[in-house]
Chains A and B, each alone.
Chain A
Amino acid sequence: MQFQLQDASLREDLISNDDLRAQSDELLTAFLKAYSSGNTDLNSKEFVGIQDILSEISISRARQGFSVRETGTYVLSLKSALTQSLQEEYKNDPAKLFSEFVKVSNLVDSLSIVTFETYIKGREEVILRQTDEISEISTPVIRVWDKVLALPIIGTLDSARTQIVMESLLTEIVASESTIAILDISGVPAVDSLVAQHLIKTVSATRLMGAECIISGIRPEIAQTIVHLGIDLSGIKTKSTLASALQLAFSLTNQEVKKKSSF
């Protein structure tokens, strides 16, 4: 019985043959034990153990990068293996064969649903973790000059990210005693009224802290959108490039960057 299962699900270089064998072994032993107890309720003690094993298998597969089809086939292959052995066992008793077959079939179906559920859960966990990582990586606060901070924003600004941006910017302003913060939005693909609202909030919060905020990196398309949407940015200093924002920051802090004379 075990060999059939292993044959049916043997595939991919993602998992070694030995590991697969051990996994199938564990699953099959548990299944046979539960099945021979005669209990077919999926929530009973015996089957909860199997559900755990299956969850583990499918989560680990989701992380290893197996597709849904592969994971699903792995569990469903249990059915064909069991059917064959049932057929041999009850060769002379078609009625019994049928009732046992229905029982096994139902069980495996429910188990495969459990597998799908946990597989998707595993995938979602991966996605969630990546989202967190991206939002952390994508909001660095850079000290570009004495008392001047720059914060390049890359990707769309939603409320959750604005919160992170604001917090890290304000904390850094306190830590570095900066008087100027440059918010560079050249990496923001689109600005709608909500994004603008978030930007204005950030600028107001910086101002409350006693620092000045300059928004830079406004592309022509974005300038057009802002005007068409009727967003009022008149109270905010805006510059088209980071360089010109830096220039403004220097003049606001009474600093000057000069070219060395060539002789």
Chain B
Amino acid sequence: MERIPILKMGEFLLVTIQVDLYDRLALTLENDLINMVAKSGSKGVLIDISSVSIVDSFMGRILGNIASMSRILDAETVVVGMQPAVAITLVELGLTLSGVHTALNVEKGIDLLKSKIGDTPTDEDHDGIDD
């Protein structure tokens, strides 16, 4: 069965979604990722969705789920590289992914994760920009 690879980079896990996520694949990813977080004790999860062009409410929910589950396991989730059309679609669907941190690209996402882990990882309102 098709799986999305999860790369371990030091303290973080990196997931790059290169294909369009259909429901079963998304569920498998959620499952794999949470197991991986628990097993490796990672402090941060970075999900790159820059090549995803189609989203639906299910996919939005999965992202939210991954973030909440990771937080329970003491890992921060950052979603990076969202396309404008995808962002507009999610907002129109009423999904603002409030628990998920976001960044423009992988580089900024890693910076954000580093700063989150460095100081206060429980600061939930703080998404996107760090000072």
Contacts and interface: CB of A to CB of B under 8 A. Distances in A.
Contacts of B91: 166, 201, 204-205, 208
A209 B84 contact: yes
A210 B79 CA distance: 8
- Point out which of B80, B83, B128 has the most chain A C-beta atoms below 10 A from its C-beta: B128
A180 B129 contact: yes
B4 to A, nearest CB: 21
A179 B131 contact: no
B7 interface: no
Chain A interface mostly? helix
Interface string A205-222: 111111110000000000
Interface string B93-131: 000110000111100110000000000000001011101
- Point out which of B80, B91, B102 has the most chain A C-beta atoms below 10 A from its C-beta: B91
A201 B103 CA distance: 18
Contacts of B87: 170, 205-206, 208-209
Contact of A210 (B90, B96, B103, B125): B103
Given A207-B128, A212-B128, A179 B84 contact: no
B96 A173 contact: no
B63 to A, nearest CB: 10
B92 to A, nearest CB: 8
Given A174-B84, A179-B128, A208 B108 contact: no
Contacts of A179: 104, 108, 128-129
Interface in A126-179: 163, 166-167, 170-171, 173-174, 177-179
A199 B103 CA distance: 21
A175 B87 CA distance: 15
Nearest to A166: B88
B69 interface: no
A252 interface: yes
Interface residues of A, number: 26
B87 to A, nearest CB: 4
Given A167-B88, A170-B88, A174-B84, A207 B131 contact: no
B10 to A, nearest CB: 21
A206 B104 CA distance: 10
Contacts of A254: 131
B97 A252 contact: no
Nearest to A171: B84
Contacts of A170: 84, 87-88
Given A210-B103, A210-B108, A252 B129 contact: yes
A238 to B, nearest CB: 15
Contact of A208 (B96, B109, B129, B131): B96
A166 B127 CA distance: 20
Contacts of B125: 235
20 contacts: A166-B84, A166-B91, A167-B88, A170-B88, A171-B84, A173-B84, A174-B84, A180-B129, A201-B92, A205-B84, A205-B91, A206-B87, A208-B82, A208-B86, A208-B97, A210-B81, A210-B108, A210-B128, A211-B128, A253-B129
Interface of B: 79-84, 86-88, 90-92, 96-97, 102-105, 108-109, 125, 127-129, 131
Given A210-B79, A212-B129, 14 more contacts: A170-B87, A171-B84, A174-B83, A179-B104, A179-B128, A201-B92, A205-B90, A206-B87, A208-B96, A210-B81, A210-B108, A210-B128, A211-B129, A252-B131
